[in-house]
Amino acid sequence: MGKSLGLAEGHTVSHHPTFDHHNLKESDKHNERIEVRVGSSASDSRAGSISDLKSQTKRQRLRAQVQFATICGSMYLAGWNDGTTGPLLPRIQKVYGLNFIVVSLIFVFACVGFLSGAFANLYLDGRFGFGKVIAYAIEASALPFPAFVLGYAINGFGLALQFTQSNGFVASLKDNPEVKMGILHAVSAGALSSPLAATQFAQLPHWSFHYLCSLGIAFINTVLLITVFGLKTQDECLAQIGQPAGEKGTSEKSQFSQILRLREVHLLAFFILIYVGVEVTVGGWMVTYIIDVRGGGPSSGYISSGFFGGIMIGRVGLLWVNKKVGERRVVFIYAILAIGLELIVWLVPSIIGGGVAISIIGLIFGPMYPIAMMHAVRILPEWLVTGNFTFRSISWIAGFGQAGSALLPFLNGAIATKTGIKSLQPFLISMMVLMIVLWALVPGTARRTR
């Protein structure tokens, strides 16, 4: 038995080096093939995108333009909704006799709606198709306050579905998605135009009739979505414009669990939550601040239009700056500048100076959202970058982040109840600092390994 063992060991020793050398060569070849595939994935993707675009027919290109324009209409509605509350908030407080924290329940109910919509989108979209779960409802009559805020919850649910699917669809496009994402969010100029109307309605006896305008825009938007997308899934809509569907790769259940396990997705979702929260807090509470602290008149609502107008211009006009400076670096620069301008609004007792500073804050704040959305596509792990997974990840980030439009304004209202609306400026500055911290934690590149 000892000799047999010795022979076996001798055999192993004499042949092992040759065996390892052969396997090592095979392994090196295999790893080399893997490295080539990984290294060339970006160029292959770009080449594939160019090839797909060249193969588009004239009719498909026209349909792609119509689809994008219709989605921009959805974003106009979302912007219109965000810009409505600020100018009407002082009137709502007066009509219902509410303090800051109670009137802030508007934002709480909207937050519940947005979060519900964000979670529901992960399930509903896969089953009912892109554009099929759009909802919008808002109160057009001055019902008792509990019913009034319930309308905000229903509205938040519908807007979350619409908002998340619009972002996911544009992020899945192969034809200049970065530029289109910037344009998509620039069309939130609805937030520029709605304060102009809401400021006028706030001074009328039938102030709540402003919501009839919102209802009309929502109805037109819903009809266009159904007409253009025909209750089809995203892959079917992409096929109509000559873009092949992304690989599924994993089951629906697996995708949900993968999304919820990704640290980078959650960091970006929280960054967007704070960003959107700051944006809507400025648009929602700044009018009250100008009236109560600076002694502004009824026309103070136009300051909200200046802020959202700045956002609209910044999302398109600063595209060249983003590319030249670098999109990751430029977000830090924009955030630091915004903090400096917010200090001017806080410390300089001038309505005109404050209004100009607020408009410039909107200008440099504008590009941050589309930059963050497209950064999400770039940092998703390579083995998970498929059309369907990307769509769901972007949708989750957008939907969860949109809840910030309700959460932060409510927190500010709760603080203002005890300290007064003068607390708005330190609150906004602290949230901007948190944005910088979150953006620093977001990875700059995608994970290469599982």
The pLDDT value recorded for residue 136 is 37
Instruction: Decide if pLDDT at 47 tops 80.
Output: no
pLDDT at 6 over 70: no
* 134 within a domain of the structure (yes/no): yes
The arithmetic mean of pLDDT across residues 96-112, rounded, is: 80
Q: Is the pLDDT of residue 360 over 70?
A: yes
* Confidence (pLDDT) at 402: 72
Q: Would residue 38 count as lying in a domain?
A: no
Residue 52: pLDDT above 90?
no
For 392, residues 6+ apart whose C-beta sits below 8 A from its C-beta are 122, 125, 168, 255, 256, 259
pLDDT of residue 343: 94
pLDDT in tens, 150-206: 877 887 787 777 777 787 788 778 777 777 877 887 776 556 677 778 878 878 877
**Residue with the two structure tokens 């009328």:** 204
Tell me whether residue 46 is in a domain.
no
Percent of the chain with pLDDT over 70: 73
pLDDT tier for residue 358 given thresholds of 50, 70 and 90: very high
Average pLDDT score over residue span 103-129: 70
Q: How far is CA 293 from CA 82, 224, 347, 430, in A?
A: 23, 43, 12, 20
Mean pLDDT of the chain: 74
By residue range, what is the domain housing residue 384? Answer: 58-441
Distance CA 374, CA 318 (A): 15
Residue whose tokens read 């544009």: 170
Instruction: Considering only residues 446 and 194, tell me which one the structure prediction assigns the higher pLDDT.
Output: 194
Question: What does the DSSP 8-state code read for residue 232?
Answer: -
Give me the pLDDT at residue 166, please: 81
In a domain, 7, yes or no: no
More confident residue, 100 or 422: 422
204 three-class SS: coil
The answer to whether residue 26 scores a pLDDT higher than 50 is no
- Note the pLDDT of residue 297: 77
| CA atoms of 162 and 94, how far apart (whole Å) | 32
Number of H helices, E strands in the chain: 20, 0
Least confident of 80-94, 175-189, 331-345: 175-189
- Looking at residue 377, its pLDDT comes to 75
User: Residue 314: pLDDT band by 50, 70, 90 thresholds?
Assistant: confident
Query: Which of 408, 424, 404 is CA-nearest to residue 416?
Result: 424
Helix axis angle, 263-292 to 302-317, nearest 10°: 140
Q: pTM for the complete prediction?
A: 0.68
According to the model, what pLDDT value does residue 446 have? 60
In this structure, of 42-46, 190-194, 305-309, the range with the lowest mean pLDDT score is: 42-46
Checking if the pLDDT of 42 tops 60, the result is: no
- The pLDDT, as a whole number, for residue 108 is 78
* Residue 22 maps to a domain: no
In a domain, 153, yes or no: yes
| Higher per-residue confidence, 336 vs 87 | 336
Say how far apart CA 346 and CA 251 lie, in whole Å.
51
d(CA 197, CA 189): 13
User: Taking residues 199-218, what's their average pLDDT?
Assistant: 81
The pLDDT > 90 percentage for the chain reads 11
Q: Is 33 part of a structural domain of the chain?
A: no
Indicate the range of 274-278, 377-381, 422-426 predicted with least confidence.
Answer: 377-381
Q: How many domains does the chain have?
A: 1
Please tell me which residue, 228 or 54, carries the higher pLDDT value: 228
Can you give the pLDDT at residue 53?
A: 55
Q: Which is more confident, 24 or 199?
A: 199
What would the mean pLDDT of 279-297 be, rounded to a whole number? 85
Higher pLDDT, 144 or 307: 307
Cα 359 → chain centroid: 21
Which band of pLDDT confidence, cut at 50, 70 and 90, is reported for residue 106?
A: confident
Enumerate residues 6+ apart whose C-beta is below 8 A from 338: 361, 364, 365, 432
* Residue 216: CATH number of its domain: 1.20.1250.20
Question: Is the predicted pLDDT of residue 344 greater than 80, yes or no?
Answer: yes
The answer to the question of residue 350 being in a domain is: yes
- Residue whose tokens read 């409802």: 137
